[in-house]
Amino acid sequence: MRVYLGSDHAGFELKSHLVNHLAKQGYEVVDVGPHVFDPEDDYPAFCLNTGAKVVADQGSLGIVIGGSGNGEQIAANKIPGVRSALAWRVEIAQLARQHNDSNVLALGARQHTLDEASAMAEAFLTTPFSGDERHARRIGQLAEYETSRELPPLPAS
C-alpha cells in the first residue's frame, strides 16, 4: 500500500520517524515534505498536497502531522474526497477507518511519543472500512455535498 506523509516543522521529526518505520514494515512511503527542517515553514502546502495525492491515487492512504494535528487535518479536509481524522488514541484511529473510511490520518507530534504515534499510524493503516450500510450511507451524503454544495434537507422533527 502507498502511504503519503506530509508535515510542518513541528511534525518533521515524527514524519521522518514514520517514513522509516512504515517503509521497514513494507509500505510504499512517499514523503511529500518538508524534506529539510525549516522552523518557519507553513503546513497548508504539505497537507493540501498530501490530501490531493491520496485522492488521486485510489487505494492509498495519507498521514499529516503537526504540533497538534488540528490545522493539518483542516487543511487536508479542504481537498474534495479527503476524509481526514485527528487521532489521539489507537481506538480513534481504528474507528476513523472502520466507520468513516477515513483516508488521511492527522497526528499531533507534540501530543504523543514516537511509539504512541507509530501505534496509531499502524492501527489506521491496518484497519479496513467496515462497509456497514449506515456508514456507507453517511459517507455518500458527505460526498454528495462535496460535489453539489447543496445542503441536505433536515429531517422532520
Residue among 13, 17, 99, 116 flagged as catalytic: 99
Q: Label residue 97 left, alpha or beta by phi (over 0 means left) and psi (-120 to 50 means alpha).
A: alpha
**Rounded CA separation 72/49 (Å):** 11
- What pLDDT is recorded for position 157? 80
Active site residue 72: yes
Residue among 17, 21, 40, 72 flagged as catalytic: 72
The enclosing H or E element of 55 equals helix 43-56
Give the pLDDT band (50/70/90) at residue 118: very high
Q: Looking at the predicted structure, is the pLDDT value of residue 37 above 90?
A: yes
Give the pLDDT confidence of 49-64 residue by residue, as tens digits.
999 999 999 999 999 9
- What pLDDT is recorded for position 122? 98
- What pLDDT is recorded for position 23? 98
> Please, which contacts does 37-46 make with residues 24 or more away whose CB atoms are closer than 8 Å?
37/9, 37/12, 38/9, 39/9, 40/9, 41/8, 41/9, 42/8, 43/6, 43/7, 43/8, 43/11, 43/71, 43/72, 43/75, 44/71, 44/75, 46/6, 46/7, 46/8
All domains in the chain, ordered by first residue: 2-130 (3.40.1400.10)
